[in-house]
């Protein structure tokens, strides 16, 4: 294990030369909060969906940053999965949104409140 780690690190530049972990996390946090605010304030389903994507990516940045910080690939591995899932999800969600739009000719989230069951 140790050997493998050192091998991987060997090919990389000096760890965290300029920007520190805190910077990456700050960016990630800002993106997440932006996404959250967007999600909570906007009513358009597509915008809301984009906001969730924003939060996703915020999490991805944090993960990659941590992976780099700890000198392993765990973070990146996660992100690869997240991207894959996000892609699939985007396809599904947009398809759903299209269907919903066809039903009510509207993209307003409030018009679907009766789905509460």
The residue ranges that bind another protein (CB under 8 A) are: 36, 39-40, 43, 48, 109-110, 112-117
Nearer to another protein, 24 or 32 (CB): 32
Nearer to another protein, 19 or 95 (CB): 95
Alpha helices by DSSP H, listed for 1-117, are 2-10, 21-41, 45-70, 74-104
Nearer to another protein, 64 or 109 (CB): 109
Q: Provide the minimum distance between the beta carbon of 113 and another protein in the complex, in angstroms, as a whole number.
A: 4
Q: What is the largest CA-CA distance in the chain?
A: 60
- Are the CB atoms for 5 and 71 separated by under 8 Å? yes
């Amino acid at each position: 294990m140790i050997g493998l780690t050192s091998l991987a690190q060997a090919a990389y530049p000096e760890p965290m030369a300029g920007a520190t972990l805190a910077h990456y996390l700050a960016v990630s946090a800002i993106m997440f909060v932006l996404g959250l605010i967007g999600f909570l304030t906007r009513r358009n389903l597509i915008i809301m969906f984009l906001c969730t994507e924003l939060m996703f990516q915020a999490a991805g940045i944090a993960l990659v940053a941590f992976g780099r910080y700890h000198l392993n690939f765990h973070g990146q591995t996660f992100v690869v999965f997240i991207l894959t899932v996000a892609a699939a999800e985007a396809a599904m969600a947009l398809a759903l949104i299209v269907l919903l739009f066809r039903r009510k000719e509207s993209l307003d989230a409030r018009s679907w409140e009766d789905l509460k069951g």
